[in-house]
Amino acid sequence: MDYKFELNEQPKQLVLSIRTRTAVENLPAECKKAYNDIFEYLNELGESPAGVPFAAYYNMDMKDLDVELGFPISKPVPEKDEMKLSEIPAGKQVSCMYKGPYKEICPVYDAMMKWIEENGHSPAGAYEFYYNSPMDVPESELLTKVVFLLR
Average pLDDT, the chain: 96
Tell the burial category of 142 from Cβ atoms under 10 Å away from its Cβ (0-12, 13-18, 19+): buried
Where do the structural domains in the chain lie, given as residue ranges? Answer: 6-150
Please, which pLDDT band fits residue 2 given cuts at 50, 70 and 90? confident
Tens of pLDDT along 24-69?
999 999 999 999 999 999 999 999 999 999 999 999 899 999 999 9
| pLDDT of amino acid 53 | 98
Q: What CATH number was assigned to the domain covering residues 6-150?
A: 3.20.80.10
Task: Report the alpha-carbon distance of residue 97 to residue 74 in Å, rounded.
Answer: 23
pLDDT of residue 122: 95
Write down the pTM of the prediction.
Answer: 0.94
Per-residue pLDDT, 149: 97
Checking if the pLDDT of 1 tops 80, the result is: no
